[in-house]
Structure 1
Amino acid sequence: MMNIKTINNIKISGLKDAPTLLLAHGFGCDQNMWRFLLPELEKHYQVVLFDYVGSGNSVVTGYSNEKYSSLEGYARDIIDIIEELQLTDVTIIGHSVSSIIASIASLEIPEKISKIIMVCPSPCFLNVPPQYEGGFERSDLEELIELMDKNYIGWANYLAPLVMGSSQSAELIAELSGSFCSTDPLIAKNFAKATFFSDYRHILKDIKCPSLILQSASDSLASTKVGQYMAENIKNSQLEIVKAEGHCLHMTNYQDITPIILKFIE
């Protein structure tokens, strides 16, 4: 039987005896998206990279539609990795939906996860009037999922500039589009549904570990209102709004967020 290290394509780098950072990629992405942050993080910490089952270079035979139809299935990947590597005092840096996945994991193993850094997070992408503005009507998201079925390449080419930010480099937008396209369409659709139709606002009040929320000033997927909502509902949290466009600060504005991250972890 294959071990977790192989299944989740785990890579460990940095300082062996230092505290551990676990970097959790977002929907349609893989661990390679963290490469801009790595050089600085590796100078100070042990860094663990991985791919969720079904993403990147993970072993797809470990994938189950049922398990990964909710974010709890992805949180299980994080828990399994932490337990397999016998990690303690872990800081998780999660991009987008992985901020919530990390939060779910922290509620299950609070003794092992000490901090969460959330890069462009959202607990719910749906508008729930009048009390919450997630940014999208259900019908808009249903159309997006429908487009995945009809024209998967077209869906990827439409979503990539929206996520990365249309003003960002053509290379980064193309990389994200390519990452979307390299994911099995059925797996991507399952992950998209788990991401875009879920509502985890109710768990925010239960997050106990210190949390840093890094929000982009202009983000088509998660507005600053979403960041403020999270900061208001997570007791021990700190919100930093970065002057930037797009949903991938760890790729487009890594020089801006690296010092904030390092200061928070210290």
Structure 2
Amino acid sequence: MDIARRNNVTVTGNPQGPAVVLAHGFGCDQNMWRLTVPALARDYRVVLFDYVGAGRSELSAFSEERYSCLDGYARDAVEVCEALDLRDAVFVGHSVSAMIGVQAAAMAPERIGALVMVAPSPRYIDEDGYRGGFSNEDIDELLASLESNYLGWSAAMAPVIMGNADRPELGEELKNSFCATDPDMARVFARTTFLSDSRDDLKSVQVPTLVLECTQDVIAPREVGSFVHQAIPGSTLITLDATGHCPHLSAPEATNEAITAFLADLR
């Protein structure tokens, strides 16, 4: 299958510039980066795509076996990079896509030369010596609710995940994005996301890495950002003046400023 069609690949910006790949998180699609693209388009070749099962991807390509682990999504990312023959691209991953980017960089080090991790979490479940933000019971309840009533779960959880209660339109947008995702495919991605444990993968990162966290984030509390930063040698941690789990939507200026400054330092 043609990868560009399968993953709804969009390429914009400066065709002569270094490549920046923008990867969305669970329940989202490439449209979530629309406030970031203009900040990059003048100087960079900007690549956007939808994971299979999300957005306008080719849904017939979905395989529960492939997408029941982060490796399957990382293969999507690598295959997009291969199809465009990208070299040393900067992979900007939101939420679970930050960990997908780590795996993709390990799979194809010649394709990905730097990482930007926006609100990352390598593990969502607490355990001794590690705070992910959720207990096992929390995650079990979250997944059970999602699987029994996906639309109801989306309506309830989107505003919580987005934060910014004084700007309800942001939560509404995330809810609409969740609801536009096929429930069966969302169920697979949710289990893959919330049951994942990528902590050991962080030690293998050998590329320049920027970690962006928010001051308040119910999905990825600040202890997680600190953990990721400490686990990746030489990484940079920036705490954005932003709340919620989607700073590229709720605080695009601060998010874009941090990303573009990091990219400028790479050149």
TM-score, with normalisation over the residues of structure 2? 0.97
Alignment of 1:98-113 (within 5 A): 98-113=97-112
Could you tell me how far 1:252 is from its partner in structure 2?
Answer: 0.8
Residue deviations 1:206-264 (CA, integer Å, cap 9, x gap): 00001100000000000111000111110020000012110001111110121211111
Residue 216 of structure 1: SS of its match in structure 2?
strand
Residue aligning to 2:259: 261
Counterpart CA distance in 2 for 1:212 and 1:115 is: 8
> Cα 1:230–1:248, aligned 2, differ >3 Å: closer, same or farther?
same
The worse-fitting range, judged by mean Cα deviation, of 163-172 and 90-99 is: 163-172
Residues 159-187 of structure 1 show CA distances to partners (whole Å, capped at 9, x for unaligned) of 10121114252222111101111111111
Find the aligned partners of 2:226 and 2:148 in 1 and give their Cα distance.
Answer: 36
Match among 130, 148, 165 for residue 150 of structure 1: 148
Give the secondary-structure state (helix, strand or coil) at the position aligned to 2:55: coil
How many angstroms does 1:150 deviate by?
Answer: 2.2
Distance 1:13 1:168 in 2: 33
Match of 2:23 in 1: 24
Q: Give the partner amino acid of 1:246.
A: G
Q: Residue in 1 aligned with 2:218?
A: 220
Partner of 1:251: 249
Q: In structure 2, the residue corresponding to 1:198 is in which secondary structure?
A: coil
Q: Which residue of 2 aligns with 1:242?
A: 240
Rounded to whole Å, the distance in 1 between the matches of 2:166 and 2:4 is 34
In 2, distance between residues paired with 1:105 and 1:88? 13
Say whether 1:195 aligns with 2:193.
yes
CA shift, 1:102, in A, is 0.4
Per the alignment, in what secondary structure is the counterpart of residue 214 of structure 2?
Answer: strand
Q: For residue 96 of structure 1, report the CA deviation from its aligned partner.
A: 0.3
What code does the residue aligned with 1:108 have?
A: M
- Distance in 2 between the 1:109 and 1:236 partners? 20
Moved more, 61-70 or 111-120: 111-120
On the 8 A contact 2:78/2:111 being kept in 1, the answer is: no
- Measure, in 1, the Cα distance between the counterparts of 2:192 and 2:76: 15
What one-letter code is carried by the residue in structure 1 that aligns with 2:244? G
Counterparts of 1:107 and 1:164, CA distance in 2: 30
CA distance in 2, matches of 1:76, 1:150: 29
Distance in structure 2 (CA, Å) of the matches to 1:151 and 1:58: 23
Match of 2:159 in 1: 161
SS of 1:104 mapped into structure 2: helix
Query: Which 5+ residue runs of structure 2 have no aligned equivalent?
Result: none
Task: Give the whole-Å Cα distance in 1 for the aligned partners of 2:148 and 2:257.
Answer: 43
Change (3 A) 1:81 1:142: same
Structure 1 unpaired stretches of 5+: none
Percent same amino acid at aligned positions?
A: 43
Give the letter for the 1:57 counterpart: R
In structure 2, the residue corresponding to 1:247 is in which secondary structure? coil
- 3-state secondary structure, aligned to 1:192: helix
Alignment of 1:89 onto 2:108: no
Corresponding position: 1:66 with 2:98: no
Q: How does 1:112-123 map to 2 (within 5 A)?
A: 112-123=111-122
**RMSD over equivalenced CA pairs, Å:** 0.9
